Amino acid sequence: MASDKAQKENKGRSGQMAAMRQVLRYIRRYWFMVGFSLVLAAVTVVLTLYVPILTGDAVDLLLGEGMVAFPAVFGIMKKIAIAIAVTALSQWVMNTCNNHITYHVVKDIREDAFERLQKLPLKYLDAHAYGDIVSRVVADVDTFADGLLMGFTQLFTGVLTIIGTLIFMLVTNVPIALVVVCITPVSFLVAKFIATRTYSMFKLQSEIRGEQTSLIEETVGNQKIVKTFSREEAVKSRFGEINDRLQDCSLQAIFFSSITNPATRFVNSLVYAGVGIFGAFVAIRGGISVGRLSCFLSYANQYTKPFNEISGVVTELQNALACAARIFELIDEEPQVPDGADAKVLTDARGNVALENVYFSYVPERKLIQNFNLTVKPGQRVAIVGPTGCGKTTVINLLMRFYDVDSGQIKVDGTDIRSITRGSLRTSYGMVLQETWLRSGTIRDNIRMGKTEATDEEVVQAAKAAHAHSFIKRLPNGYDTVVTEDGGSLSQGQKQLLCIARVMLCLPPMLILDEATSSIDTRTEMRIQNAFAKMMEGRTSFIVAHRLSTIQEADVILVMKDGNIIEQGNHETLLAQKGFYSTLYHSQFEG
């Protein structure tokens, strides 16, 4: 148990240091602003420490009743006013610099995180909850920004105040300054005690918050499914369990961070009392004037106050670094293997596709596709059928190179797709999936997604070919109607028609239709099938379907089971074999 705890602490410290190094790397880009902020902090501290000296000098000019040197006192008051005005201006400019640094660093981190998201392989996104990723990029970065801003605002001035005050005290009176120095280690012990316990708690808090965000996003996005299967109580129970864990770790983190203030205030009181008592004895013996003693008492307050602030900053920095570690985990994830320098740009693809001895599995210990071989001639229509989980959609993922094969190769026009740029490969395919995807924007923009330079007339023709024109014209603003990512009030079938229209507009040399008409009524499906037949003429097409009535005209039907092709042929040939395909077909149409 002790060794496990020590390992966790060592891992936490190493993670904290790694996060700190990466934060400094981002801050380094704004070194000039950081240096200027340090100069302003130094000016602020020096002037703040100079004011007590002036105050002490003024006190020493109050010799007794009727013995006040008013001209000298007024001169000192003018100096104090100037010092306070310059200090205020320096602090304002310094805070402006700190805000500039913080929010530019946060902007850079968010941009790097979002850029990395575009480069991450799909297997990372498939393995991580979307809500957790969103929490890292949004909530964790916001928390990091708060801690970083507090660090810049208070850490610089705090450290400089401690150093400056100590120098001024040593110059003024060494014995009293030594009293302050002897009590100072107590503050460091308190800060270390708190810091070592808060980082891991705040990191756990961020992780659980990401889990909670993921559950909320999943539940809200699938509210119909939750209600349909009466899962309200189960979801509430799950949310309650996560919420309880978040409460527990948050309370622990808040408890240790909240003892910072009273603990450091206690140390402050010790320092002030020590300076007051020891200084009084020195003053009685004539070792220091009353004015200088008042100056020392002011320094005692100023010396200990930064410890109070720095302890609070340390707590916030623990939280900030814990959040930064999570966002840096995302930024440091291995991106997908980039296209090679000699990668070929696929242009004017003929549609000759070959899969040779392909092996692939999502998880190494769970075999999926094994020794898969297929040759597709240009213009052929290839249908892929089989039970759920047999690898139909996986074949599509491999063709589009969303995943790379474990062994073997996939060729397009005789070239291994790993030697072809991903962009040109995917541009050569047109995809219509069972799951529709729209982006926030107008209907016209959504249809134009694959061909942004298309004219309005081309967009309308594509919509008519997809049988989407009639329902689009019924919308409030027709093709200029704005829809959200979830399609708003559009039905699932209407969203799928828009996705079909998108492909109709591009007409790439190869097509992938994965349950493309699953959400469309039978009458519209018949029209769409005719449009598809026209669209597929001369184009290599891969059709994944459960409804076997939609693939009877395919040139080749591949029957898959457990990642292998168990039957191959056209519709009539496979029925005549009275094998697995025949069983599937008759199970759909018997009776």
Contacts of 5 (CB under 8 A, 6+ apart): none
Which CATH number characterizes residue 38's domain? Answer: 1.20.1560.10
Residues 6 or more apart in contact with residue 206 via CB below 8 angstroms = 135, 139, 140, 143, 322, 323, 326
Asked if residue 350 is part of any domain, the answer here is: no
With bands split at pLDDT 50, 70 and 90, how would you rate the model's confidence at 360? confident
Specify if 436 maps to a domain. Answer: no
- pLDDT tens column, 250-289: 888 777 777 766 776 777 777 777 777 777 777 777 777 7
State the total domains in the chain: 1
Give me the mean pLDDT over the 435-447 stretch.
85
Task: Find all residues with CB under 8 Å of 241, minimum gap 6, and list them.
Answer: none
Domain-located, residue 58: yes
pLDDT value at residue 591: 47
Note whether 546 and 557 are within 8 A (CB). Answer: no
Of the candidates 330, 107, 316, the one whose C-alpha atom is nearest the C-alpha of residue 207 is 330
Indicate the burial class of 376 (C-beta count within 10 angstroms; 0-12, 13-18, 19 or more).
buried
* Residue 298 maps to a domain: yes
d(CA 255, CA 476): 55
Report the run of H or E that residue 567 belongs to, with start and end: strand 564-569
Distance in angstroms between the alpha carbons of the first and the last residue of the chain: 66
pLDDT given at position 344: 87
Q: Is the pLDDT score of 53 beyond 70?
A: yes
Residue 31, phi then psi, degrees to nearest 5: -60, -35
* CA–CA separation, 83 and 214 (whole Å): 53
Stretch 44-56: mean pLDDT, rounded? 79
Tokens of 557: 């039907």
Residue 528 lies in a domain: no
211 occurs within a structural domain:
yes
Question: Is the CB of residue 117 less than 8 Å from the CB of residue 133?
Answer: yes
Amino acid type, 321: L
What pLDDT is attached to residue 176?
74
CA gap 280, 276 in Å, rounded: 6
pLDDT score recorded for residue 519? 63
What pLDDT sits at residue 128?
78
CA–CA gap between residue 146 and residue 125 (Å, rounded): 28
**pLDDT for res 518:** 65
Note whether residue 126 is domain-resident. Answer: yes
Q: Which residue has the higher pLDDT, 88 or 2?
A: 88
Q: What is the pLDDT of residue 307?
A: 67
CA 322 from centroid of its chain's CA atoms: 14
Q: Is residue 129 part of a domain?
A: yes
Rounded Cα distance, 19 and 324, in Å = 6
Question: What counts of helices (H) and strands (E) characterise the chain?
Answer: 22, 12
Of 432, 415, 431, the residue nearest 346 (C-alpha): 415
Write out the residue range of the structural domain in which residue 202 sits.
2-331
* pTM, to two decimals: 0.65
In this predicted model, what pLDDT tens digit does every residue of 190-243 receive, in sequence order? 666 766 667 677 778 878 887 888 888 788 777 778 887 888 888 888 888 988
How does residue 89 score in pLDDT terms, banded at 50, 70 and 90?
Answer: very high
